[in-house]
Structure 1
Amino acid sequence: MSSCYEVFPNGLSNFRDVGGYRVAGGGSIRKGLLFRSSNLTNVTKVGAEKLKTRHGIQAIFDLRSGIEMSQPSRHLSTIPITRAPALSDLNDDRIVVYLKGLTTDETAAVTAELYLWICTMSTSAFRAVFTYLRDNPQCPILIHCELGKDRTGICMAIILLMLGASDQDIMQDYQLSQDGIKSIIPERRLKLLKLPLLVDSAVPPVALDRHFLASPQTMRHFLVRFKQTYGSAQG
């Protein structure tokens, strides 16, 4: 039993229920409690109603940084939204190294190292999410960033590790974002190309192409490095 992304035509991309994966010791992660997606800016009235009534979302965590944050759809005003920036202090030098690394044959390893760095920068944000899950185990929650692939992917990987999911299933869940973000890549790419950092550093087009990949090998590398660094998701 495994998760799959849901075609959500009402202004929301890369949306899925992360429940259903088998866990160590038997059983599976309960469906209908843990959801992930891209940003919520364009969610329609119908989409918002679907989140509330069909999925019962009671809390939303936005992992984007302050410069990225835009007003969520006005139709979501009845669902509490917690701002929990996973990258409140963006390091330009680190991002340039990452993007240049994407022009090499080590894309998966380079991205995994960025993810590990994000972990160190996201302690407060992830703690807020984990605390909510601990204190509200029966409340459906939606976690998102801009694409719902990187910061959300890291957060979800750690949660799935804590719950006892296998590395293979965590990799599968991450890979689902490849199709989940297809419709929003062109718009996001244009936004990135306008950033002074990218203009000044003359990032090759291939780097941006690879930035939008959700390769299972990237998640494999990240899980190895995460366990080497922290020992376990509880570390």
Structure 2
Amino acid sequence: MPTDPALTDTAPRASQESQGQRWVEFAQIDNVRDLGGLPVITGGVTRFGMVLRSSTLQQATAADLRKLLEPLGLRTVIDLRLPDEVEREGYGPVAGSGVRIANLPIRKSPQSSLAARDLVPDKTRVDLTDLYGQLLAGSGEHIVEAVRLIIDPERRSVLFHCAAGKDRTGVLAAVLLDAVGVEHEAIAHDYVLTNERMQRVRDRLDALPSYAGLPPANTGILAITADVMLRFLANLHADHGGAAAWLRANGLTAAELDRLRDTLVQPVE
């Protein structure tokens, strides 16, 4: 599926070579890319080899697992799925690999029932920007905890994922990238890249018990447009002063925020 034409003019900001390096190919994991190579407003780019974003991992093959462990050096998986998803779908071979798994659900409310069906009751009709705002509001503690895992050198490299690797994963990715000063157009472009894998992701998820009945790719909950992410980031800044301020308000210390920048940003040499 083609990339959103609204963002074609942003592609040169992160070179085509960099975009190619960001995708990590697997046999049975569809939507994995490195958060490295994205331009930072103050100069430099995000580092490769620190953090991966992904779709669900439970169908990984033995070869996929070997690639995650070496050469990617995976030590920690941050699972953003809800408990009922985890119970039904599990982790596949990752569970017995020695990788630390932290289940930190991204949800609309800490008091929610934590059932996947409650995340989006109608999968065919949803305001994604509004949904992302609700996920942000309901997940402060878990997002801060995810940041603390990412800045711990003993836990890297880190991979975070939900089901498709688009919505809950997209919210965490946006918070991380905005907090260290990545340009909004580059964050939106990263979000839209999932379009390239959405059909494969949709077909895989629709065959699993937790996600059966998904709409066609690029509709409803599976829609992906730059405008959704750009509006989410605009709201984040208008309502909270940006991701860095939001993280501080939710308990991240100034020193931890500095460590996040040091972890994710490669300065200009």
TM-score by length of 2: 0.73
Structure 1 runs, 4 residues or longer, greater than 6 Å off: 91-94
* Structure 1 residues 116 and 66, CA gap change in structure 2 (3 angstroms): same
Q: Which residue of 2 aligns with 1:116?
A: 133
Which of 121, 124, 144 is the aligned partner of 1:127? 144
Q: Give the structure 2 partner of residue 158 of structure 1.
A: 175
Match of 1:95 among 102, 111, 120: 120
Aligned residue in 2 for 1:72: 91
- The 2-side partners of 1:217 and 1:123 are apart by 24
**What residue number does 1:45 align with?**
62
| Matched residue type, 1:209 | T
Bigger drift between 122-131 and 38-47 goes to 122-131
Separation in 1, partners of 2:40, 2:218? 35
Partner of 2:44: 27
Structure 1 stretch 54-63 or stretch 133-142: which is displaced more? 133-142
| Distance in 1, Cα, partners of 2:198 & 2:35 | 16
- Give how far 1:213 is off: 1.6
Q: What is the match of residue 227 of structure 2? A: 217
Measure how far apart 1:132 and its partner are.
Answer: 1.4
SS in structure 1 opposite 2:159?
Answer: strand
Across the two proteins, how many residue pairs are aligned to each other?
A: 219
In 2, the alpha carbon distance for the partners of 1:174 and 1:213 equals 11
Q: Deviations over 1:16-52 (max 9, x none)?
A: 0010111122111111111011011101110011011
Q: Aligned-pair RMSD on alpha carbons?
A: 2.7
Change (3 A) 1:159 1:216: same
Change (3 A) 1:124 1:99: same
Name the % identity. 26
Greater shift in the superposed pair: 126-135 or 168-177: 126-135
1:107 counterpart residue number: none
Long gaps (5+) in structure 1: 103-109, 199-204
Shift of 1:7: 5.6
What displacement does 1:206 show? 7.5
Q: Structure 1 residues 194 and 49 mapped into 2: Cα distance closer, same or farther (>3 Å)?
A: closer
Distance 1:13 1:23 in 2: 27
Alpha carbons of structure 1 residues 79 and 206: separation in structure 2 relative to 1, 3 Å? closer
Alpha-carbon distance in structure 2 between the residues aligned to 1:14 and 1:181: 8
Indicate conservation of the 8 Å contact 1:15/1:180, yes or no: no
Q: What aligned pairs does 1:189-228 form with structure 2 within 5 A after superposition?
A: 189=206, 191=209, 209-228=219-238
Establish whether residue 81 from structure 1 lines up as the match of residue 101 from structure 2.
Answer: yes
Distance 2:131 2:66 in 1: 36
CA shift for structure 1 position 53: 0.6
* Inter-partner Cα distance in structure 2 for 1:175 and 1:117: 20
